[in-house]
Copies of this chain bind each other. A is one copy, B any other.
Amino acid sequence: MMTVVEKLRALRAAMSQSGVDCVFVPSSDPHMSEYLPDHWRSRAWLSGFTGSAGTLCVAKDSAALWTDGRYFIQAERELAGSGIELMKMAQPKTPTVEQWVSKQLPRKGVLALDGSCTSASKVETLEKACKEKEISIKNQDFVQDLWTQDRPSVPASEAWLMDPARAGMPASDKITALRGKLAEKKADAMLVCRLDSVAWLLNLRANDIRYTPFALAYCLVEPSGVRLFIDGSRVSDEVRGNLQAQGVTLYGYDAVQDYLAANKSKLNLLYDPASTNWSVLQVMQKNEAVSLIPEKDPIQLLKAVKNDTEMECQREAHRRDGVAMVRFERELRRRMESGETWTEMDASDYLLGLRMQQEGCLGASFETIAAYRENAAMMHYSPKTGSCATIQSRGFLLVDSGGQYTHGTTDITRTFAVGPLTDEERDAYTLVLKSHIAVAVFKSGSAGRNIDIIAREPMWRRGLDYRCGTGHGVGFVGLIHEGPQGMSAANDTPFVPGMTVTDEPGLYEEGKFGIRIENELVCVPVTKTEYGDFYGFEVFTYCPIDTRPLIVESLTDEELEWLNEYHALVYRELKGALTEEEAAWLKDACAPVTR
């Protein structure tokens, strides 16, 4: 095993041989996925930083890694000794990747990147930044020659089709809806690159990427039909037949560039620069029959609005998930009371086991965060066997986890008191609940950037904040982070009924504790008056919120009412799926809180 320092030394030697001054390594696969097949985790392999989001740049005498607030603490630790400078994104003095590149490289220097794993839009912003110093950008993958040992292969798990009774809409109808959206942009074709978009469009799923049930594939929607580029070895005759019956023809995964190059029919082809890799774009640009129309992927907005069937299935997924969570909390309390030791990893594994016992559970929807006390201050900490903490009977245990089910995707965080708490911890927990509850009714047209502030207000009044959005969209048997909707200061997609989003404010005190309370919500209409349409959110996470840490006197009547109504809902939804003993425990955990 090479160390990070050795890898960087080898990379720089190769760069020098090729006349390259800097290499840009994003966290990306050919489909711009957030979670990557291990085969494409080049940035993690090169830098040693294992968080899900990060960009590495290696120049001759310097190297830097950009990541966001979720990962500052973790990245600092993992990068120690590597010589790679940590760039904390969105901090006032941190340069952007583009600023850094244009400063570090010499005039007429060469920046290399793997075009098959870099989006067209990222290349465009890099090109702009490089213009003044006449820096050129070269499509060259340095990692393939360095990462030869133990590199995981390209995945090709068995593909399957969603049960139509759960998808709520057959692929043929979705293709028709997409063609309508294309016509609005004067396009008659589209290259679908995002795996979640391909999955939604064809009701197609697989297990190529850990936590996300997608198949590596491109889909080309043409006036004459739909082409799916996928490794054929993993597609059963039944699935193939079903797809063909809906007008979908299959080609090999690696055939996409050749097909696009050979195409002779005139196409007004929409592509999404943010999710189309540069190598594929370059092929399309060379084909004179293709008129390219750069636009946002229209499937994203179609997919974000869940249909009634999807919502009903999602509720069922959350009921199953809630049962697992209730059993987990009972075991946690039993162990704390009996003094049995439990490590973060044990707890994490135990919870996954409970989920897997639920019917239709396909696995976790992301890497479980079971973080005890100060570990929870690292927003996306995950315990590792051997190095993780043992849960003691004081402070908080934060557990952020979720499941992929045949019925939907869940994402839930609860922070449990595992023993006595300090006043500071109780105060922070109460404040987090206030922020969690504060997400409320809004007028149609409001986007995340409008609503986000409502959740932050209780914290801002105290000079506190959390360095991330309040919540993100969630897919349906899909991505745990789904766009375009989201509850954050930058998000300008108006919420419409059917859109899901998490509500997960938190407080993180480095070296002390991390507290987060997360439910999954779905946007629903609330009322329509002469002043307009008003929307709100239905909670469809069913799991008690630990009330023991609360400073009840600090809650307003409205907040108490919310809490008690929520707990009544949780009990109503879950009791039927629990044993008598478990139901009795839940009744107690959901008991109304009064002052």
Contact = CB atoms under 8 A, between A and B. Distances in A.
Contacts of A443: 456, 460, 465
Contacts of A339: none
Given A450-B449, A454-B453, A531 B464 contact: yes
Give how many copies assemble into the complex: 2
A163 interface: no
A489 B450 contact: yes
Contacts of A446: 453
A556 B555 CA distance: 10
A526 interface: yes
B440 A529 contact: no
Given A449-B450, A450-B453, A529 B464 contact: yes
A442 B460 contact: yes
A585 interface: no
A374 to B, nearest CB: 16
A440 B461 contact: yes
Interface in A443-471: 443, 446, 449-451, 453-454, 456-457, 460-461, 463-465, 467
A446, A450, A463: which has the most chain B beta carbons within 10 Å? A463
Nearest to A459: B531
Contacts of A558: 556
A440 B460 contact: yes
Nearest to A533: B463
Given A556-B556, A556-B557, A526 B463 contact: yes
A105 interface: no
A526 B461 CA distance: 9
B556 A460 contact: no
Contacts of A456: 443
B463 A531 contact: yes
B489 A460 contact: no
Contacts of A531: 463-465, 467
A386 interface: no
Contacts of A449: 450
A489, A526, A534: which has the most chain B beta carbons within 10 Å? A534
Contacts of A454: 453-454, 457
Contacts of A125: none
A441 interface: yes
A460 B534 contact: yes
A139 interface: no
Contacts of A463: 526-529, 531, 534
A532 interface: yes
Contacts of A467: 531
Contacts of A556: 556-558
Contacts of A460: 440-443, 534
A386 B529 CA distance: 36
A454 B453 CA distance: 8
A556 B465 CA distance: 23
A166 to B, nearest CB: 34
Contacts of A489: 450
Contacts of A529: 463-464
A588 B532 CA distance: 41
A443 B529 CA distance: 33
Contacts of A534: 460, 463
Interface of A: 440-443, 446, 449-451, 453-454, 456-457, 460-461, 463-465, 467, 489, 526-529, 531-532, 534, 556-558
10 A-B pairs with least C-beta separation: A465-B531, A463-B529, A463-B527, A441-B461, A441-B460, A463-B534, A556-B556, A450-B453, A443-B460, A442-B460
21 contacts: A440-B461, A441-B457, A441-B461, A442-B453, A442-B457, A442-B460, A443-B456, A443-B460, A450-B450, A450-B453, A451-B453, A453-B453, A454-B457, A463-B526, A463-B527, A463-B528, A463-B531, A464-B531, A465-B531, A467-B531, A556-B558
